[in-house]
């Protein structure tokens, strides 16, 4: 062990000389230690460097790790997608222009299948429903009124309980000039329309 001079400029205490590599045992797996510290007598060990493997094995391990990570990602995505579609959401495509300009032909929607388990549809909600005369066909419409409400249309203007519907989101070129109603919405029913 060599002696180091202790001066006021020194930031380290006297340290022993490193061991002689020719004396080190070949059975010891000593990896270099990475240290960090600020001026002063204390150093902090922040990590131990890995023993370098042969380049050939390292490349195979890296490739294997990448393949395993990709497979895990794909399996996770498939499981999540299955759970989401089965229990919560459905992807649907709009066929037609009845919801224009809000939804255009061939737009894709993600439909939340659970939201109405927690509450009832409200006027203004866009809903996906089965067509009563052909249950294999799905419609996308906007809820206008609920049970107990009275709906009428005068010159294309919709009234719910004699109050004009706030439909400023619909441009004039999409408005009709039809008359309909008045109609009282029965219990357990909703009145829906395209935009």
- Catalogue the active-site residues: 98, 141
Q: Which residues of 109-130 are buried (b: 16+ CB within 10 A; e: fewer)?
A: beeeeeeeeeeebebeebeeee
Q: Count of H helices and E strands in the chain?
A: 2, 11
Nearest to 182 by CA among 156, 151, 158, 155: 151
Peptide bond into 195 cis (omega under 30): no
The H or E element spanning position 44 is strand 44-48
Euclidean distance between CA atoms 103 and 142, whole angstroms = 11
Pairing state of beta strands 163-164 and 180-184?
A: unpaired
Nearest to 129 by CA among 141, 112, 147: 141
Task: Please say whether the dihedral angle defined by the alpha carbons of residues 68, 90, 111 and 91, taken in this order, is positive or negative.
Answer: positive
């Amino acid at each position: 062990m060599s002696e180091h001079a202790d001066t006021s400029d020194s930031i380290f205490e006297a340290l022993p000389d490193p061991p002689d590599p020719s004396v080190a045992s070949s059975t010891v797996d000593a990896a270099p230690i990475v240290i960090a510290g600020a001026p002063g007598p204390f150093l902090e060990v922040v990590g131990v460097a890995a023993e370098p493997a042969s380049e050939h094995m390292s490349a195979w391990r890296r490739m294997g790790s990448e393949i395993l990570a990709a497979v895990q990602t794909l399996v996770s995505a498939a499981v999540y997608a299955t759970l989401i579609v089965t229990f919560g959401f459905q992807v649907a495509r709009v066929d037609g222009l009845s919801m224009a300009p809000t939804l255009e032909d061939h737009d894709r929607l993600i439909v939340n299948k659970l939201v109405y388990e927690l509450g009832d549809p409200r006027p203004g909600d866009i809903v996906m429903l089965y067509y009563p005369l052909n249950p294999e066909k799905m419609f996308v419409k906007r809820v206008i009124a609920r049970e107990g409400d009275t709906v009428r249309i005068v010159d294309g203007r919709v009234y719910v309980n004699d109050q004009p519907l706030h439909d400023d989101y619909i441009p004039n070129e999409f408005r009709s000039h039809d008359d309909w109603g008045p109609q009282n919405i029965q219990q357990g029913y909703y009145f829906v329309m395209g935009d």
